[in-house]
Structure formats: structure tokens, C-alpha cells
Structure 1
């Protein structure tokens, strides 16, 4: 028995990567931390990732209880999640991902970096769906944990070395990566919507399962 489901792990990582878009957070992170020292910027990156992962983990663990309590089916969550991710994808394609600014007196590592930039609704919905897909299988649960740890490390490194990444990619390179992420996310969200519609039709007996 394999401890890790490589296909599932890859799917989780790629999906969350294009939703959160670590390279796309680089210019936002630099602008929000422009007055900080290198040490303060590193700490802000660590806090932002910790906050994001805490939020995502809480919903991954307790999300099912919330759905049951509110009588929300998985296909309904999948459909609404697909629409939500499609909106995020359109924002990435339109170049509106940076339309957020820190409020006076608020720690930027918490808001908007930790949430909603990293630990936003798109990532939360996606992780809840992946937990459902895991179905209690040990290999898939381990794969999900490994993928999230790898993603957390990726997010931290992207912000920790934001200055270097920005210089290497340039403004055009960062924009290109963000747009490509938008295209991939649009395709993923559309597939989620189609799968949800199919699940509804199967449950209603319109088509065979």
C-alpha cells in the first residue's frame, strides 16, 4: 500500500498553487511591506503563511460539520465554489488581484496577506472539496497534508525572497505568471461546475451515475 497518492497530491498542490498564486503575491507583498526592514519582512511572511494555513486547516477539519449543520450538499458546495473560483480567475486575468490595501493600524501580515490574499475563500472551498474527495483514505489524507505543507513552504519562500523574484521575473514576468494562473484557474473552476451539475443530474436520476 502506497503511503502517498501521487496523482491526488499533484492535483491538490497545482490547484491550490494557481488559486493562491504565490508569484502573483510578490508585487503585493513588496508594496505592503515597503517600509519594513529585511528582518521585519521575513517575519511578516512567516506570520502571513501561518495565519493562512490556520484558517484553511480549520475549515478543512470542521468544514463538513458546518455543511451538515446548514444542510448544504457537496455538489452545491462544488458548484458555488466553482463560481467563486471563476470570479477569482477573472480577477487574475483582468489584473485586479492587487486591489487591496492595508487599513491603518492593521498588521498587514494578518490582513490582507494572511487573509484574504493567501487564506481566502477560494483556497478554503478547494481544500474542503479535497477533504471530501479523500474520503477517509489514509494515502489521500497524507497526500493532502504533504501538499499543504509544500504549498506553505512555497508561499513563504515566494514572499521571503520577493525582492529577488521580482528582479528576476521583472514586472512583465510576474504579470505573465499571474495571467497564466488565471487561465488555469478558469479551467479548473469550469470543470468543478460541470462536475457539480453532473452530480445533481445523477442524484435526480436524469443520467446514469
Structure 2
């Protein structure tokens, strides 16, 4: 197996998906959850993200071509969705009971577009296109799997962080996470607009 390609895929996706940076956002979105519910949300979010990444790795370019969707358009859409979630975290609307009724935050926004966002999708598609032979494909697949295991571990033990911080600490982390998430969302949209205007960097 191509261990160099495995390392490149793992490091690239680790930086993009940012398991450690996901913890405060995960805590903010699951602040009202019990320990069991938070554990289940972590598992579901990772499964959703893994499914989306694998689907785009196998069929991504065909899907985008068939729907006549460009990568910048996908990036802008993900950024706008993240911005809406960030505004909820900043204003506290995400703490209201009505905001979570009938909504599985493990799927949206955690699974996608937070974890399996445009950046991770595009990076995975690029690695798959560069892969030559089954050894390279196995290296990319193992890299993707390793990153998702890391994501699960980070969110699975986020409950320990919640116990340490307490409700007030989680509220503070939620507001900070909302600010950071809004910045990420704006950057995604800005990059997409720049690509639309001047072409790929």
C-alpha cells in the first residue's frame, strides 16, 4: 500500500475536517442532549459524513456533471447553510426546544456540511482522481476511514469537556463556536465567489 499517499490523504482531510475544532460546535449543537443522545449524535454524524464522502469519492464528478453543478456552487451552498447555523449559535435560537423538534442535528449540520463539507468532498475527489491502481485507492480509503475514526473519538468524548466546563462554560463555548463557524462560512462563500469571478486560484 502507498503509505505516503495515505499520510497525505489523512493529514489533508484532518486539517480540513478539523476534529478538535468540531468539539465546541458539537457541544453547542447538542447542549440540551443527554450523554446517551450526545453519543448517538456523534456516531450518526460520523456515519453520515463518511457516507457522503464515500458517495462523492465514487460518483462525485458524475453527480455534479449530471446536475450541471460546479464545485464553487457546491462550496457557496455549503457556506450559506453553515452561516445559518452559526447565526443560531450566536443568537441562542439553537437553545430553544422548537429548534430541535423533528430535526436531527447529527445529519445537518454536523454530518454535512460541517464534517463532509465542500472542502473535504473536493479533496477526496482529487485524491481519488490521482490514485493509480488498487494500492493507491486502498491508501486513500484507509486515510478517509482513519480521519472519521478520529472525528468520532473527538465528539464521543466531548461529554467530558461538557462536565468540566458546566452549563455556563458550554454557553460561552457555543457563542465562540458560532463566531468561528460564521467566519468559516463567510470564507467558503468568498472563495466560491472569487472562483466564479476570476477562475480557480
- TM-score range for the pair, normalised by the shorter chain length: 0.5 to 0.7
In the alignment, structure 1 segments of 5+ residues that lack a partner are 89-95, 183-188, 198-209
**Alpha-carbon contact 1:44-1:109 (below 8 Å) kept:** yes
- 5 Å matches for 1:52-63? 52-63=49-60
Residue in 1 that maps onto 2:157: 161
2:117 matches 1:130: no
Distance of aligned partners of 1:69 and 1:156 in 2 relative to their CA distance in 1, 3 Å threshold:
same
Residue in 1 that maps onto 2:13: 16
Residue in 2 that maps onto 1:140: 136
Distance of aligned partners of 1:115 and 1:67 in 2 relative to their CA distance in 1, 3 Å threshold:
closer
TM-score (norm 2): 0.66
Distance of aligned partners of 1:139 and 1:70 in 2 relative to their CA distance in 1, 3 Å threshold:
same
- What's the offset of the Cα at 1:36? 1.1
State the distance in 2 between where 1:45 and 1:150 align.
16
- What's the offset of the Cα at 1:69? 4.8
- What's the offset of the Cα at 1:152? 1.1
Aligned residues, how many?
Answer: 162
Residue in 1 that maps onto 2:112: 115
Residue in 1 that maps onto 2:24: 27
- 5 Å matches for 1:83-94? none
Two-structure CA RMSD over aligned residues (Å): 3.6
Residue in 2 that maps onto 1:42: 39
- What's the offset of the Cα at 1:70? 7.1
- Give the secondary-structure state (helix, strand or coil) at the position aligned to 2:86: coil
Query: Which protein is richer in helix relative to its size?
Result: 2
**Alpha-carbon contact 1:45-1:160 (below 8 Å) kept:** yes
**Alpha-carbon contact 2:50-2:148 (below 8 Å) kept:** yes
Distance of aligned partners of 1:67 and 1:109 in 2 relative to their CA distance in 1, 3 Å threshold:
closer
